Amino acid sequence: MAEEEDSSELRQTGQSGGNDKAGAQTEAGTQTQNVTQTQADTGGRAGKAGGRRKAKQSIFYIYGEQKFQIILGLIGAAIGIAVGLVDVVFGKVLLFTSNTRLAHPFWFIPFLALAGLGIIYLNRLLGGNNHKGMNNVFDVGLEQSAELPWTIIPFVIVATWMTNLCGGSSGREGVAVQVGAIIAYKLGRYVHSVGEKKIFIITGMAAGFGGLLGTPIAATCFALEVIVAGEMKYQALFPALIAAISAMEVTQAFGMTKFTFPLNTPMYFTIPFILQLLLLGVIFGLVGAIFAWLIRQAKHFFKVRIPSPIVRIMGGGAVLSVLFLLLHTGRYSGMGLDLIDYSLKGGVIYSYDWILKLLLTVLTLSLGFQGGELVPLFSIGASLGAVLGNLLGLPVPLVAALGYAAVFGSATNTLFAPVLLGGEIFGFSYTPAFFIVCAVAYIFNMNQTIYGKQIPIRERIRRGLRSDTAAPDRAQDRSAV
């Protein structure tokens, strides 16, 4: 009896213990569910807060980027005004020297060698490292060099005046591009936290080109395209455009006229006409490539064969003086604005004008005289276009205008700048023709360029170079020629 009571008591105790365990497990499960629910609620609230934060950050980024561009635009306007004022002085004096030489060719062209001697001593007086042209700009823009000295500005301006006055065949826009890049780079150093120096260099280049030629849209595209062919620094688009417009307004306010020649030739895009445009693109592209290749080869040849810069520039200057006087008494001296005028307005154009202008420009610049290549390229293209227009039975002004833009684009390895240049000068209604011809010229220029430090993006990929790394000078790099 006692044993039964004890076993009954034990069973009750066991059942009671089991019930306690079950209750504890139930309570623990309930607590776990509550904790999980709490965590889920907290996670949801955190996710929503994170989403709101992300949205705020996105809005702030967009606002910050726009604010950044506005600041760059204001800086671009200041750069444009400064560069425009320099363009006014440079451009007006250059036109005066051109007109003076045209009026008295025998007074000045015989002294080209002495002008060359003066250029050598001016370079030495100002530090001796000012004669590299656009390579100085490319070195800094592509972070191969950290400095663009102020002394380049007076050197290239005065040396270009001297070259032009004494009959050397060279231009002006290339000089203005250099000057603009240096001014912008120097101003940009005071606001270096706003943007990288490449942005300021592009902005200054656009201002120099746009101020002197009066084509701000083409100037902007040229500055964006030319540092690395095939790659654009779009962050510089807005300040470069503002700078180009500002520089143009300044130069025009001081009486420098913008060159325009609206075409009035009807165009009908028939299959024969399109085939003719394609042929013109091939020819203009090859001529631009030949010019770029020759000028690099000639610089290398004269530097190796005649190491002394004084002997090189004085001896070459004497020969050039004779050639300029014998060949139609200075017809090929200076920038070549007369050839452009004859080509577009029905003047006398000889079939060899473009060849002689090309060769004499190559000789002038490769011997050490100063000036840009762009206006001579315009005159080479326009005079070649006048010849081809007569051969193909096409309107001469139209083909001259196409050559004006396409040879420039081919030699500088740019695509959109020459198309827009054609539109701004000759009328945007002809943009389809300019695009076809300039695109084909760009394809057939064989990756040649007048700028030794410029390398097309596809060649950079082949060589394994970063886009912000300067290329070796192709005058020295024989494998790239």
Task: Give the N- to C-terminal CA distance of the chain in Å, as an integer.
Answer: 118
Residue 478 DSSP class: G
Q: From CA 194, how far away is CA 216, in angstroms rounded?
A: 23
Which token pair is 348? Answer: 């006398």
- Residue 228, SS3? strand
Residues 6+ apart with CB under 8 A from 231: 457, 467
Does pTM top 0.85 for this prediction?
A: no
329 three-class SS: coil
Crossing angle for the helix pair 173-188 and 134-141, to the nearest 10 degrees: 40
Residues in contact with 414: Cβ distance below 8 Å, sequence separation at least 6, in sequence order: 221, 222, 225, 226, 229, 442
Do 167 and 102 contact (CB within 8 A), yes or no? no
Q: Residue 5 is encoded by which pair of tokens?
A: 């009571």
Measured distance CA(20)–CA(437) in Å, rounded:
94
Distances (CA, A) of 33 to 14, 19, 140, 378, 444: 28, 21, 65, 81, 74
Q: Where in the chain is the domain with CATH 1.10.3080.10?
A: 63-253, 271-480
How many angstroms separate the CA atoms of 471 and 340, rounded?
A: 34
- Cα(251)–Cα(92) distance, rounded to whole angstroms? 10
Which pLDDT value is given to residue 442?
A: 96
Q: Identify residue 445 by its one-letter amino acid code.
A: N
Length in residues, the chain: 481
**What does the pLDDT read at residue 193?**
52
How many Å apart are CA 393 and CA 364, to the nearest integer? 34
Helix (H, G, I), strand (E, B) or coil at 171: strand
The encoded tokens of residue 7 equal 């076993």
DSSP-assigned states of every residue in 48-95: HHHHHHHHHHHHHHHHHHHHHHHHHHHHHHHHHHHHHHHHHHHHHHHH
pLDDT attached to residue 453: 72
Question: Per-residue pLDDT for the chain (481 aa), expressed as one digit of tens each?
Answer: 444 444 444 344 444 444 444 444 444 444 444 544 544 454 455 454 455 444 444 433 455 667 888 888 999 999 999 999 999 999 999 999 999 999 999 999 999 999 999 999 999 998 767 666 677 787 776 666 667 888 899 999 999 999 999 999 999 988 999 999 999 988 877 775 545 778 899 999 999 999 999 999 999 999 999 876 556 778 899 999 999 999 999 999 999 988 999 999 899 999 999 999 999 999 999 999 999 999 999 999 999 999 999 999 999 999 999 999 999 999 999 999 999 999 999 999 999 999 999 999 999 999 999 998 999 999 999 999 999 999 999 999 999 999 999 999 999 999 999 999 999 999 999 999 999 999 999 999 998 999 877 765 545 555 555 545 545 554 443 333 2
Residue 398's pLDDT is 97
> How many beta carbons lie within 10 A of that of residue 103, not counting itself?
9
pLDDT computed for residue 228 by the predictor:
64
Distance CA 195, CA 74 (A): 13
The position carrying tokens 């200076």 is: 334
| Dihedral angle of Cα 76, 81, 85, 90, to the nearest 10 degrees | 30
Query: If phi over 0 gives left and psi between -120 and 50 gives alpha, with beta otherwise, what is residue 265?
Result: beta
Q: CATH assignment of 271-480, given 1.10.3080.10, 2.40.50.140, 3.20.20.70, 1.10.10.10?
A: 1.10.3080.10
Q: Could you tell me where the beta strands, DSSP code E, fall in 232-280?
A: none
Identify the pLDDT of residue 356: 98
From the centroid of its chain, how far is CA 71? 22
Task: Output the CA–CA distances (angstroms, integers) from residue 267 to 139, 272, 274, 302, 431, in the order listed.
Answer: 44, 12, 10, 46, 11
How much is the pLDDT for 173? 85
pLDDT of residue 275: 98
- Identify the pLDDT of residue 147: 77
Give the number of other Cβ atoms within 10 Å of residue 66's Cβ: 10
CB neighbour list of residue 52: distance below 8 Å, 6 or more residues apart: none
Three-state SS at 453: coil
How high is the pLDDT of residue 202? 93
Domain 63-253 has CATH 1.10.3080.10: yes
Specify the pLDDT at position 309.
Answer: 94
pLDDT of residue 277: 98
Element (H, E) at 12: helix 2-103
